[in-house]
Each structure stands twice: as C-alpha cells, then as structure tokens.
Structure 1
Amino acid sequence: MTWMNRLRELGGAATTHQLRMAGATPEDLRRAVRGGALDRVRKGVYVSPLMDGAALEAIRAGARLSCVTACASYGLWSGTDRRTHVTLSPQSRRAPPGLTCHWRPVEAHPELWRVSLADCLRSVARCADEETAVAAFDTALASGHVSPSGLRRILEDVPKAARERGALARPGSDSGVESVVRQRLERGGRLVEQQTHVRGVGRVDMRIDGELYLEIDGYAFHSDADSFERDRLRDSALAQRGARRLRVTARQVMEDWNRVEAAIDRILEQA
C-alpha cells in the first residue's frame, strides 16, 4: 500500500505522522503539494484536493464532524437538521464561525475529519431530538454497523435520557423514514410489525395493527421503470389476497404526515 492509498483509506485527510508511517518522505510530501496532489491545510495536516464541503470545513477548524453530520457521513439517518455539527476539544480557544460546536474530549480515531462511529452515536443520543436519534440508531442496526448489544455498550456511559433513547431503537427499518413512521405510529398506540413476509408477495415494509400493509417509497425510489413495475405487481398481489394496503412516499411522510396518518386511520377504521 502506498502512502497515497493510505490517505484515501483515511477519507482524504491525514497527519504528517500517518503519511510518514505509510512510507511518505518529507520530499514526497513537498512534491505532492507543489504538484497539486495534496493540500496542506494546517501544520502537520494534509488533505486530498478532492475533499470539500463539511469535512474540509471541520479539518480547517481543527474539529471533526459529529452528531447528525457524522451520521450522514456513515450512511445513517441524519434527520432534517442541515447545520454542520462538529466536536472540538474543550481546550480549543474559540468556536469556528458557521459551525455548530460540541465541546467534548475527542475519542482516539484515525480519521481526522469525523468522530468514530461510537462517538457519533453518543453525540446523536445527547444532541438530536428523540425521533432523529432513534432513527439514526435504527439505521445503524439495519446496516450492520452495530448490534443491539453493541449499541447498549456504546451508550452505557451517556446520561440516562440519552440511554433511554437507545432503548427505543429496533432492528427492521431499512431507512430512517421507515423508523420515523414506526415511532410515530407506536406513539399513537398502533402495533407495528416491520419487514413482514407475505406469501406470494415478498417482504412488505410494515404491517399495522395486523390489518394494513404499508409500503414507503424512498426519496430516490422508482428511478427506473423496472422498480415501478415490480411495485405495481406487489400491490396487485396484495390486492388479490384481499389485504388492506397503502403506499406512501418518504416526502409525504416528512412533509405531510397528518394526511398520511389520517389515511392510515381511515383504512383501519374500515377493518
């Protein structure tokens, strides 16, 4: 592995020590900066010229992405908060402008631009609203990033309220939007079964009160005709079984929940 491969492995940012350990010489680094293959953003810190956005902001500020911003970088649900959250050492002298700062000791982690996955989940438990935090945990479980017991261990030292959020997490949500729907329905007293298998149909996102099959199309869903046709066939198969069914979009869930909930209530009242 060359030292440039090591830089890519670390997400595009590395210290001089990390690159030297991977085989780079001082002349290699000087040559790479002169040739535009590296940028030196701080003393002893180099980044790929391809790094941009929130990650580069954090690196320049001597911070690391955390909370929901780090969640997004790990492919987890990050909710609707579009601020850039970062963790800074308590010894840092000032808050960088434009960043939402969390002043906490930074857990040892080789990536300079974001906190570790465990630290990310702990920061979400403390900082985000309950619905967002639980959805982040649900997507971490669904993606295999962490197990239920692993999540409990990660959160064992956070405040009680944050641990209680972790206890609400459930495997089974293939997306954060599915987790949001589950949480909202359960808060309303509904029984929700996720990833229910129906003979002749396959796996359905959720069954509500044992009566209504609910499918949730993601934001980028149906990008091709085949996906659209498969879903119509699934809907048809459910209809042939006489099953009550409803298909909604992620956008409807997040932007027009009252109407979605009212539709669910009406269908179940007819059961």
Structure 2
Amino acid sequence: MVAEIERLGKVARRKDLLARGCTDWGLAQATEAGHIVKVGRGYFAVPGADPLDIWLAGYQARRTCLSKAKQLGLWVIQEPALIHVAAAHGQAISGCVVHRVSGPQTIMEILRQCIQCGSELDALLAMESAVVLKHCNIPALRAEFSRDRDARGRNILAMLDPQSMSIVETIARYYLRLAGYNVQSQYFQKGVGHLDLWIDGLLGLETDGAAYHNTPDGWATDMVRDNLLTVRGMWHLRVSARMILERPELMLDWVRQTMDRINSLPA
C-alpha cells in the first residue's frame, strides 16, 4: 500500500490506488496502523508527503503538466509561476492553473499537457528526459501522438535524441539546430571518449554543469580531455551550464566565430 502511494508521488487518489490492485479494506487497515493518512476526500498520503500535495488534495487536485514533470525528475528549466494542477471538477483554485482531468495522471497525459502549455523547448525537455530516464520509449510516444491534432507533439518527437545526457546538453543542441547547424549528441572520439555535442562534423562542444565539473576529479578529467583534443588537432569549445541557460546567444556567437575560423583555413 505504502509503496503504491509512493510510486504515485506520496499522495494518491483512492480510485487510482484501487485501479492498481489496492482494496478499501487494505487502505483502512494501513490508515488504522498509521502507515498512511487520509488527507482529503478520496486522497491518501504517506508520512513525509509534500505539504503542497496535501494542500491540493483538500481541493481534490494534484500536480500536473510542468509542475508534475519537475516532481517526477524530468528536465524543467523553470517551474511555472502558478502551479499546474489536475482536477476532475475543473473549478478555479487560488494560485493554480487548473487542468480538467478526471483519469489517472499517466506519463503520456503529463507530456501532452507540457506540449499544450509550455514552449517548444519546455516540451522537448520534458519529452526527451522522459525517454532518457526510462519513463517511456520513442515507439510509445509515436503511437500516443498519432492523431491529426497531434502535429505539435510529432514535431517535438522528431527533435528527440535519446543519447542526451543532461538538460543543458539538450538546450544547447536545440539552439544550435535552430541556428541551422548539424548537431550530434555524445559523439565518440577514439582515445578521448564522448563529446557532448559535435557540430557540423568539425567542432566539439562540451557543456559543463557544476555538479560534476567543479570537482577535483572533474577538473582533472576535463584537463586531460582538452589536451588530448588539442594534440589530435580537434577544434572544441567548453561552455558553462549557466551560459547555456542564461545567455545562449553568447554560446551561439562563440560557435559562429569558431566555425568562421575553421572554414577560413586552407583545405
């Protein structure tokens, strides 16, 4: 019982739990034993549940769209200013954007809402990370977005690259392709390893996040890789995650200048 609620985000609807094989008797027993708590009409939570989710349960609502994507660990640049919630009643809830949803919150429903509400980049990040993190696969997405009204979803699906390793890598690839470059993710160079991005078959781009690269091991690895690339005569740039997130135009300018330099060299 507890495991099922945790899988649904630590707060879950009774009807979703019953659909997953739980019983009213089991819910009553778990509640009596203190393993779970009833937090709203038809809603149960495990100890340690997020207070926001408990508050939403009081309104017969739950997170959805980009707000739920963030909770699931999908790649989200910035959560919406107003939390997006799913509620069968569809009535207004203060401080929330309400999606009228009566069924369970499947990953496909959440991605569909991200496509509907978010920018093209927001939707790409959510969909690509859902594949990278094994929440779904590309054939399932292709089947889900096969209807006439799903053109936007199919366009975003066509941008997916399951080789991507991080949110900043996907963002950089998105802007580079938008600028007209051919971009490969996780390009393998013998003796060096994988480069985050390989641009027009000529220029490597490494996208550095602080979590890994700002460590002694990270610095040492980067130094070795940069030196090996230089020894092999391979053009490459290294840009920070902060630049990609906050100043992608500067990254594009560096790439443009470097590509101009490469293309000006004698054949």
SS at match of 1:270: helix
- 1:27 Cα deviation (Å)? 6.0
- The unaligned stretches of length 5 or more in structure 2 are 263-267
SS at match of 1:24: helix
Name the counterpart of 2:132. 142
SS at match of 2:73: coil
Name the counterpart of 1:107. 103
Residues 27 and 211 of structure 1, relative CA distance in 2, 3 Å threshold: closer
Name the counterpart of 1:13. 11
- What per-residue deviation string (whole Å, max 9, x for no partner) do you get for residues 104-134 of structure 1? x3333xxxxxx21111111112111111111
- The unaligned stretches of length 5 or more in structure 1 are 109-114
CA contact (8 A) 2:31 2:37 kept: no
* Aligned-partner Cα distance in 1 for 2:235–2:255: 10
Name the counterpart of 2:92. 95
Q: Which residue of 74, 91, 115 corresponds with 1:76?
A: 74
Does 2:186 match 1:190? no
- 1:263 Cα deviation (Å)? 1.0
* Aligned-partner Cα distance in 1 for 2:196–2:72: 23
Residues 237 and 27 of structure 1, relative CA distance in 2, 3 Å threshold: closer
CA contact (8 A) 1:212 1:244 kept: yes
* Aligned-partner Cα distance in 1 for 2:24–2:7: 11
CA contact (8 A) 1:125 1:163 kept: no
- 1:97 Cα deviation (Å)? 0.8
- 1:200 Cα deviation (Å)? 0.8
CA contact (8 A) 1:214 1:247 kept: yes
* Aligned-partner Cα distance in 1 for 2:14–2:163: 42
Name the counterpart of 1:210. 201
The one-letter amino acid of 2:103's match is: E
**TM-score scaled by structure 2?**
0.85
* Paired positions, count: 256
SS at match of 1:132: helix
The one-letter amino acid of 1:168's match is: M
- 1:9 Cα deviation (Å)? 4.0
Question: What percentage of residue pairs aligned between the two structures are identical?
Answer: 27
* Aligned-partner Cα distance in 2 for 1:67–1:127: 8
* Aligned-partner Cα distance in 2 for 1:224–1:249: 14
Name the counterpart of 1:24. 26
Equivalent residue runs for 1:153-164 within 5 Å: 153-157=143-147, 158-164=149-155
The one-letter amino acid of 1:100's match is: V
- What per-residue deviation string (whole Å, max 9, x for no partner) do you get for residues 30-86 of structure 1? 452xxxx54432123221231115433433321222211122122211222333211
* Aligned-partner Cα distance in 2 for 1:225–1:30: 51
Residues 202 and 47 of structure 1, relative CA distance in 2, 3 Å threshold: same
The one-letter amino acid of 1:252's match is: M
* Aligned-partner Cα distance in 1 for 2:30–2:186: 52
Residues 257 and 161 of structure 1, relative CA distance in 2, 3 Å threshold: same
Residues 5 and 162 of structure 1, relative CA distance in 2, 3 Å threshold: closer
* Aligned-partner Cα distance in 1 for 2:28–2:139: 45
* Aligned-partner Cα distance in 2 for 1:28–1:203: 49
- 1:22 Cα deviation (Å)? 8.2
- The structure where helix makes up a greater share of residues is 2
SS at match of 1:259: helix
Name the counterpart of 1:112. none
Of stretches 140-149 and 234-243 in structure 1, the one that deviates more from structure 2 is 140-149
